[in-house]
Amino acid sequence: MPQRLINLLQTLVQAEVQRLPLREALYACEQVANAVFSKFAGSESLATLGIELLAISIQAIRPIPEMARALEAEAREELLHRADQAIYDRHNAAVEQERRIKENELNTEIAIEEKKRQIRETKVEADLAVEAKEQQVRRAKLNNEIALENERKQLVAARAENIREVYVKNAAGALLQQGVKELVMLHFPEGAFARTRRGEDVWQSAVKLPAKVVAGTAGAGDAFCAGALWGLHEGWELQRCLLTGVALAAASLTDPTCTAGIKSLAAAQALAKKHGFQAKLE
């Protein structure tokens, strides 16, 4: 009878142990004992024999020597695998750390280069601004110098105009004082002037011929005299006489000889109309 119960108990224990993985079964004494107790306590064999099962305790579950060696080998392989995995993980962690360090260094270098570039661009912009300002200052100085030079030329021209006007008037007055009866006419490059004994003054500007049209000055004074005398002979007013004189003088300037430039009065008047007259004299 005891052997029968032992066999039944061994069968239940074996069934529970086989249901578990071997490695878990070695550490599942209490779990196996509880499972076997629940099944063994409800067994009909115990009920028939009038036996009441109070508890089951399994002190240890041990493998046979061959199985123990196999488990030890597997455990060693597992430990070695874990050690290798730990070494691999540490290596990967070191590589990742080194990569992060290099990435941070690269990002730092990029940031530094970007900052240097910004500094260079700012310096270039500042240099360009300074250069632009200096150019403005130089341009302003040049404009001021040009304006001053123009003012100086205008002052010189105005002074020359005033001096010429004074000289021309004084010369005409002197000639009248020296015995000229009725009229004095003076011809000069800028035009002509006439003063009568009665004190009438008349000015006439010269024709504004381009420099490329002027071929020679010989005979220009004679041409002026011819035109002015022609007008006086015809009884024209003084302004028309002077205008005719400067028109013929301009026509004479278009030829290097003394007479070839003089064509006709109409041609001389057309030449004066084409080119116009210089600034008004007074």
Q: pLDDT higher for 11 or 131? A: 131
Pick the CATH number of 181-275 from 3.40.50.300, 3.40.1190.20, 3.40.1390.10, 3.10.310.10: 3.40.1190.20
Q: Residue 244 pLDDT more than 90?
A: yes
Q: Quickly count: other Cβ atoms within 10 Å of residue 214's Cβ.
A: 14
pTM over 0.85: no
pLDDT of residue 156: 65
Residue 253 has pLDDT above 60, yes or no: yes
Mean pLDDT computed over 80-105:
90
Work out the average pLDDT over 71-84.
77
